Amino acid sequence: MNPSGGTGQVGPLAGLRIVEFAGIGPGPFAAMLLADMGADLVRLDRPGGADPYSKTVVSRGRPTVTVDLKDPADAAGTLALLERADALIEGFRPGVMERLGLGPDAVLARNPRLVYGRMTGWGQDGPLAKSAGHDITYLAVTGALAAIGPAEHPVPPLNLVGDYGGGALYLVTGILAALLSAGRTGRGQVVDAAICDGAASLMAMFSELASQGRWTDQREANLLDGGAPWYRTYPCADGRHVAIGPLEPQFYALFRRLAGLDADPDFDRRDDPEMWPVLRAKLEAVFLTRTRDEWCNLLEGTDACVAPVLTLSEAPGHPHLAARETFVTHDGTVQPAPAPRFSGTPSAIRSPSGPLSLSQAIHRWSGEGSFRS
């Protein structure tokens, strides 16, 4: 497998045509995923550029067309491009595309099969729909942020849970589902992907546990939030950390044996929350007796469920990730390889041909695509 691919490989979405209106965060990330899977994307960006973050990795795999959507000629050209597309991605505030003459009514009237993907924080309606926000504020109202971090205060988990987990991944899922529907019915539709909705959806398991009385609103007091002493990170003698997660009894028993904890009866009471502070303190002392790599030499690769906490610069060198080519170097930049993997139609990082004009983009989609039967 060569996940950095080049132009010779095509993925499972080969032939799918998508127009991406450049933005920041989850919209470009969703477009990257679709491009990795073989979709043919054209990224429309305003003069001067709208996205200061997506330069080489998140913007990979698609050419950019500079357009001024307030210019009547560029707006008309954009509509002509959308007539030839299977889907679009836009992440403006509600009402912006409509004011530009590119809202769903106008576009679907000219291309009834189009899937219109809308990526926002608050969604297309509701009291906050037109308000500004960011990942941290969308997580704050869903219960997700309150559950993450130490007991003293919540900590934003980068912008992974909101922008990318609850946003981009739900947008991709919605677009692909709507494309399946359009293939059956001949009718496109709007996909309203709101980060607040997706983040709330990601909390389904914890809603389930709360309904059973097995999850509390207190941070660092539950099974998976760092409260359980056997599901958290610990500093080692060199200041680096290990992550442990022997949840199942048999894995916990092996962890105890390999870590030399069998003789301490306190560790028999692993499921007693009143003992958790005691066990955490004991494990903190134990892990400080060796370096991170010494602990990993002893425990990693066993069913004790222990791994080193690696930095982003260390991760590509981990033996397992290196063997799977989880990270690749493409155009001189180390970056994550496409995911997931397909046995018959492998994804690839494709190098775009370079910037296009709007007329060139329209011309390259002048024929019928394979998704437009």
Give me the residue label for tokens 């370096």: 291
Distance CA(297)–CA(348), nearest Å, equals 34
Report the residue count for the chain.
373
Distance CA(119)–CA(75), nearest Å, equals 21
Query: Contact at 8 Å (CB) between 190 and 116?
Result: yes
Q: Which of 45, 51, 74, 163 is catalytic?
A: 163
- Using CA atoms, how far residue 272 sits from 266, 269, 290, 331, 341, in Å, is 10, 6, 27, 52, 41
What contacts 65, CB < 8 A, 6 or more positions away? Answer: 42, 43, 44, 45, 355, 356, 357, 358, 360, 361
Question: Per the structure block, which two tokens stand in for 371?
Answer: 């998704």
Q: How would you classify the pairing of strands 241-244 and 40-45?
A: unpaired
Q: Which DSSP string corresponds to 140-156? A: HTTTTGGGSS-TTS---
AA identity, residue 62:
R
The interaxial angle of helices 249-259 and 292-299, nearest 10 deg, is 120
Among residues 86, 37, 35, the alpha carbon closest in space to that of 344 is found at 37
Distance CA(101)–CA(92), nearest Å, equals 13
AA identity, residue 2:
N
Residue 120, judged by CB atoms within 10 A of its CB (0-12, 13-18, 19+), counts as buried
Question: Per the structure block, which two tokens stand in for 341?
Answer: 């993997």
Secondary structure class of 170 (helix, strand, coil): helix
Give me the residue label for tokens 């709330």: 200
Q: Is residue 134 annotated as a catalytic residue, yes or no? A: yes
Q: Is residue 163 annotated as a catalytic residue, yes or no? A: yes
AA identity, residue 368:
E
How many Cα atoms sit within 13 Å of 106 on the Cβ side?
14
Query: Contact at 8 Å (CB) between 222 and 231?
Result: no
Distance CA(106)–CA(205), nearest Å, equals 40
Q: Which of 134, 192, 241, 293 is catalytic?
A: 134
List, by residue number, the catalytic residues: 134, 163
